[in-house]
Structure 1
Amino acid sequence: MIPVRGYEGKTVAVLGLGRSGRAAARALRDGGATPVVWDDSATGRDAAEADGFELRDLTKAQAFQDVAAIITSPGIPHLYPAPHPVIAAAWEAGVPVDNDIGLFFQSFASEGFEDFDTAPRVVAVTGSNGKSTTSALIHHILAECGRPSQLAGNIGLGVMDLEPAVDGEVVVLELSSYQTDLARSLTPDIAVFTNLSPDHLDRHGGPGGYFAAKRRLFAEGGPDRAIIGVDEPEGLYLANQLAQGPTDDRVIATSVTQKLTGPGWHVFARKGFLAEWRKGRQVASIDLRDIPGLPGSHNHQNACAAFAVARALGLGPKAIEAALHSYPGLPHRSQRIAEKDGVVFVNDSKATNVDAAAKALSAFPKIRWICGGLEKEGGLEALLPAARSVTKAYVIGREAEAFARQLTGIAAEVCTTMERAVTLAIEEAEPGETVLLAPAAASFDQYDNFERRGDDFVACVEAALAAR
């Protein structure tokens, strides 16, 4: 655990007692602060009280009289669609609002860093899609190359549950827009922007607010080096804002749609080959096509970003290439779970929006597509061009019929349940096809989260194959 610095002897409120909130409260206490905690759920309050924390109803008048700051969990809205009443009250009282990411960056460095041969560094990864895979891939490369590393944020540990850094260590953080939007301190050594597509628009007041939340990591974080995906206008804009000119190699541009060969530092992938260019010439190349843990152009985009980070940290191309080949992949993200009679089964339950699902559909030639769930804003029209490889769709979810009606030109069957969808897909699949779960929708109509949905898919596939 990383003790929080800067609040010794002060009272700090904590709102929201999920994983990050409880960890923040413990880290505040370890750092000499007095945390007072609150959660809208009685279950959360009871668990915190059992851990010895003082409960304080932050909805009451005068609750902030002696409070130096309030730390809020990322899932609690602070501006759109409306501020949580406790956060609004903190504003009125003039109490600074922060989150655990802000506490981490405020507290990570210690006096012991001066005794290290190599100072610890922080890599922060944000974007719409690919954050988890990119973060896990960076961590994997570092571990395979013998560099000490920890993985945290939206993946792995909560940031305050990290161990204090050792000599030469690299901390890799996956950060969502919910986390970057509010953190009062953002100071990564290397920051990564994977891509941008519409998501969480209600939480950020529209696409501009969503991009602005991501941009804070770079504009306010001031990283020593930025790795920017430039396949969308927002990425091009961000790279342009950060670079002092075309030769400024503090910005590494990445792409999977174009060849980047200007005078700067570029990493791109085309037709399954990753290339690194510096100062107008190619310096490295990797064949990504046969790497089982990184199928499809979306994973090649992740590989480009991870490769760029590893190169910025001083690792050699051959060592990085070897590490890419041993990457096992992440659960629920293009996860190959089975193969039988020439049919491959892939779990991409994390494809919760149209853009992520489109990338998953582009990764395989012949697909039996399991899709559906709680549809997000914007509809499915943008997904259809990527669905040319779909032989048939099997639609799940409470609103499966409405979802299926939008799949114009695609043979679709309303299944409603995962079990029915998997059973039909297996019955109808032919050798050379892939049964792919890529929902293009949130899970909350039937499941607590995308992990539960993916686990159900895996269980249904295993049961159906065992019965054949």
Structure 2
Amino acid sequence: MIPVQGVDAQTIAVLGLGRSGTATAAALAAGGAQVVAWDDGNDTRAAAETQGLRILDLTRDANWQGVSALIVSPGIPHLYPRAHPVIAKAYQLGIPVDNDIGLFFRSYATEDWDGFDRAPRVIAVTGSNGKSTTTALIHHVLEECGRPSQMGGNIGTGVLSLQPAIDGEVAVLELSSYQTDLARALTPDVAVFTNLSPDHLDRHGGLGGYFAAKRRLFAEGGPDRAVIGVDEPEGQYLAGQLAMGPADDRVIRISAGQKLDGAAWSVFARKGFLSEYRKGRQAASIDLREMRGLPGAHNHQNACAAYAACRAVGLAPREIEAAFHSFAGLPHRSQTVAEIGGVRYVNDSKATNVDAAAKALQAFPRIRWIAGGLGKEGGIAALAPHLGGVVKAYLIGHSARDFALELGQTPYEVAETMDQAVARAAAEAEPGDTVLLAPAAASFDQYPNFEKRGEDFVRLVEALPGS
């Protein structure tokens, strides 16, 4: 646990008592704060009370007496589509609102660091797609290269549940737009922006607000190095704002499809090869094509981002390349589950939006595509240019029939459930095919989250004959 600094003897309120909220309350208490807490759920409040938390109804004005700050869990809206009533009350009372990410950045560094040979560092990764894989890949490379490392944030461990840093350690954080939008302190040593595509628009008041939330990671604290994906206009804009000019190597531009050799420092992937350029000259090259944990152009972009971040903290190209080979990938993200009779089964349940599904569809040549669930605004019409490799689609869930209307000439059948979809795809698949779960939809019509959906796919695949 990382005790929160600067809160001794203060009364701090915590809103939201899930995993993040309870960890935050514990870290505040470890820092000497008097913690009061509230959650809208009766059962959640009762559970927190049994753990010794002091529950106060923060919807009542009288309970704000003496409160000096409100710490909010990331899932609770603080502005759009409307602020939660408790947060709105804090605004009215002039009480600062923060989250666990802000507390982490103001508390991670301690006096113990003065005795370290090498100061700990923080790499923070944000973006629309690929940030979990990029974060995990950076962490994997650091560990394989013998650098002490912890991973947390929006993946794995909550930031305040990480352990205090040791000499030379690197903390690798995945940060969502919900987390970067509200944090009052954002000071990573290396900040990574993977890409941008429309998502969470209601929460941020539109695409501009969504991008602004991501941009805060770079604008608030000014990282020593910024790794920026420049395959979208927003990334190009961000890189242009941060760099003082073409010779400024504090910005490392990355791309998953275009050659970048005009900037001081760039990393890009083309035709399966990663290249690093510095001052117009190639510094390194890595063949990504046989790395099974990193299939497809979207994972090659993740590899570029991770490579650049690891180079920024002093790792050598050949060290990074060796570590890439042993990366197995993350569950539910282009995860190869099995190969049965020459057919590959891939779980990309995390592909919950059109952009992520498009990247998955471009990663394999002959696809039997399992898609559907609770469709998002706009449906899947934007996937039309990426359906050339789809032999047949097997549609499940609430939006199955809506998706069918948008498939054009692509063969399909409405399978309704995952059981039927896997059974039908497996029965019809031929050697060389990939049975790909890339739903392009949320899971909430049939599953509590994308993880459970992916686990169901894995279970069904593992039960197939020959598995």
Q: Same fold (TM over 0.5)?
A: yes
Residue 305 of structure 1 aligns with an amino acid whose one-letter code is A
**Which residue of the partner structure matches residue 305 of structure 2?**
305
**Which residue of the partner structure matches residue 254 of structure 2?**
254
2:222 is the counterpart of 1:222: yes
Residue 347 of structure 1 aligns with an amino acid whose one-letter code is N
TM-score in terms of structure 1 length: 0.99
**How much has 1:427 moved relative to structure 2?**
0.6
372-381 or 275-284: bigger deviation: 372-381
2:51 is the counterpart of 1:51: yes
> For 2:14 and 2:458, how far apart are their aligned partners in 1?
37
> For 1:138 and 1:76, how far apart are their aligned partners in 2?
29
Q: Deviation per CA, 1:15-52, whole angstroms, max 9, x where unpaired? A: 00111100000000000001101111112111111110
Report the secondary structure of 2:218's partner residue. helix
Q: How does 1:202-351 map to 2 (within 5 A)?
A: 202-351=202-351
**Which residue of the partner structure matches residue 40 of structure 1?**
40
Size of the aligned set, in residue pairs, is: 467
> For 1:68 and 1:364, how far apart are their aligned partners in 2?
54
Q: Deviation per CA, 1:265-313, whole angstroms, max 9, x where unpaired? A: 0000000000000001001000000001000000000000000011111
**Which residue of the partner structure matches residue 434 of structure 1?**
434
> For 1:349 and 1:463, how far apart are their aligned partners in 2?
18
Report the secondary structure of 1:29's partner residue. helix
**Which residue of the partner structure matches residue 76 of structure 2?**
76
> For 1:74 and 1:324, how far apart are their aligned partners in 2?
32
> For 1:69 and 1:430, how far apart are their aligned partners in 2?
60
**How much has 1:382 moved relative to structure 2?**
1.4
2:371 is the counterpart of 1:371: yes
Report the secondary structure of 1:21's partner residue. helix
268-277 or 381-390: bigger deviation: 381-390
Residue 49 of structure 1 aligns with an amino acid whose one-letter code is E
Cα RMSD, aligned residues only = 0.9
Residue 18 of structure 1 aligns with an amino acid whose one-letter code is G
TM-score in terms of structure 2 length: 0.99
> For 1:109 and 1:465, how far apart are their aligned partners in 2?
54
37-46 or 449-458: bigger deviation: 37-46
Runs of 4+ aligned structure 1 residues displaced above 3 Å come to: none
2:132 is the counterpart of 1:114: no
**How has the CA–CA distance of structure 1 residues 57 and 459 changed in structure 2, closer, same or farther, with 3 Å as cutoff?**
same
Contact 1:64–1:95 (CA<8 Å) still a contact in 2?
no
**How much has 1:263 moved relative to structure 2?**
4.2
> For 1:306 and 1:34, how far apart are their aligned partners in 2?
40
**Aligned residues with identical type, % of pairs:** 70
Q: How does 1:160-179 map to 2 (within 5 A)?
A: 160-179=160-179
Residue 271 of structure 1 aligns with an amino acid whose one-letter code is K
2:137 is the counterpart of 1:144: no
> For 2:96 and 2:340, how far apart are their aligned partners in 1?
57
Report the secondary structure of 2:62's partner residue. coil
Report the secondary structure of 1:464's partner residue. coil
Report the secondary structure of 1:79's partner residue. coil
Q: Deviation per CA, 1:201-227, whole angstroms, max 9, x where unpaired? A: 010010000000000000112101000
**Which residue of the partner structure matches residue 19 of structure 2?**
19
Contact 1:132–1:174 (CA<8 Å) still a contact in 2?
yes
> For 2:396 and 2:64, how far apart are their aligned partners in 1?
47
Contact 1:7–1:33 (CA<8 Å) still a contact in 2?
yes
Residue 188 of structure 2 aligns with an amino acid whose one-letter code is P
**Which residue of the partner structure matches residue 381 of structure 1?**
381
**Which residue of the partner structure matches residue 92 of structure 1?**
92
Q: How does 1:380-459 map to 2 (within 5 A)?
A: 380-459=380-459
> For 1:464 and 1:112, how far apart are their aligned partners in 2?
54
> For 1:92 and 1:120, how far apart are their aligned partners in 2?
39
